[in-house]
């Protein structure tokens, strides 16, 4: 039997958190992995689907605490592929939605390593859906924006300013720490009464939802102790959530 190693890299989106929301193709990739490099938002239960002898390496980034820099991750992916074979790069949500997946593929392609992509279910649409909020709804919202709440310079994306001028649904990922700034931007556009939802741990048993308006959401988030990771959804579609009016009445905001 030959011990010749054929390097291969598969970029897999793990979905929003619930292990059943990974694709069948993603699951099959995990079952053939020699190495799995996984991120912070990946449900660790997915690692149980890998071969017993597979190497599992945590390379996540959370709250400015990085196990590895992006450059180190790029190098590790290639090194592991050459020394072990099939590397599955497992990322939360979809790898191409603020997941830096293309950066990793570009680096691997420079070494002529075989690469493939397995799309994942993005939290930007699945988390609102599971919370009862459609990102589009006929007669209410004809489009939606998906924006990162924090840029590489730890600043709020300027696209939020542009999005606040539209009638589109605005979904902000990784933006909870910028909630006050986001609310101020929408208020300046005359949208203090616009509905907003904060969804913590979307798709998981620990999921929490804070519903309110731009004007009231900071206080509501504090009362409900909403923590990251959380998806922010802004727009009239939030009112489609079955408990929207009840939440605001119970909190004396209506």
The yes-or-no answer on residue 208 being catalytic is: no
Question: Among residues 174, 178, 191, 201, which one is catalytic?
Answer: 174
- Catalytically annotated residue among 8, 18, 34, 39: 39
Q: Is 224 a catalytic residue?
A: no
Annotated catalytic, 174?
yes
DSSP 45-66: GGGGGS-TT-EEEE--EETTEE
Q: What is the 8-class DSSP label of residue 176?
A: G
Contacts of 104 (CB under 8 A, 6+ apart): 9, 11, 73, 74, 77, 89
Residue at token pair 């727009």: 235
Burial bucket for residue 2 (CB in 10 Å: 0-12, 13-18, 19+): exposed
- Please, are residues 246 and 209 in contact by the beta-carbon 8 Å criterion? no
Nearest-angstrom CA–CA distance, 87 and 110: 16
Q: Which of 61, 208, 224, 239 is catalytic?
A: 61
As annotated, the active-site residues are: 39, 61, 174
């Amino acid at each position: 039997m030959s011990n010749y190693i054929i390097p291969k890299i598969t970029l897999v989106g793990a979905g929003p958190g619930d292990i059943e929301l990974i694709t069948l193709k993603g699951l099959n990739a995990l079952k053939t992995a020699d190495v799995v490099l996984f991120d912070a938002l990946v449900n660790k239960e997915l690692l149980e689907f890998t071969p017993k002898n597979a190497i599992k390496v945590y390379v996540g980034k959370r709250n400015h605490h990085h196990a590895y820099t992006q450059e180190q991750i790029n190098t590790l992916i290639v090194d592991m592929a050459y020394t072990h074979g099939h590397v599955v790069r497992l990322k939360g949500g979809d790898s191409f939605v603020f997941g830096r997946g293309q950066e990793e593929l570009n680096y691997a392609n420079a070494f002529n390593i075989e690469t493939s992509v397995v799309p994942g279910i993005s939290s930007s649409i699945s988390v609102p859906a599971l919370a009862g909020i459609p990102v589009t709804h006929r007669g209410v919202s004809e489009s939606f924006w998906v924006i990162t709440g924090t840029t590489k310079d730890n600043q709020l994306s300027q696209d939020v300013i542009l999005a606040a001028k539209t009638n589109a649904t605005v979904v902000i990922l990784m933006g909870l720490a910028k909630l006050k700034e986001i609310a101020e931007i929408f208020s300046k556009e005359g949208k203090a009464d616009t509905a907003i939802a904060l969804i913590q741990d979307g798709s998981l048993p620990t999921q929490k939802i804070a519903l309110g308006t731009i004007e009231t959401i900071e206080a509501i988030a504090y009362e409900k102790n909403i923590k990251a990771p959380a998806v922010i959804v802004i727009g009239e579609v939030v009112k489609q959530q079955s408990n929207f009016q009840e939440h605001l009445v119970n909190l004396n905001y209506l």
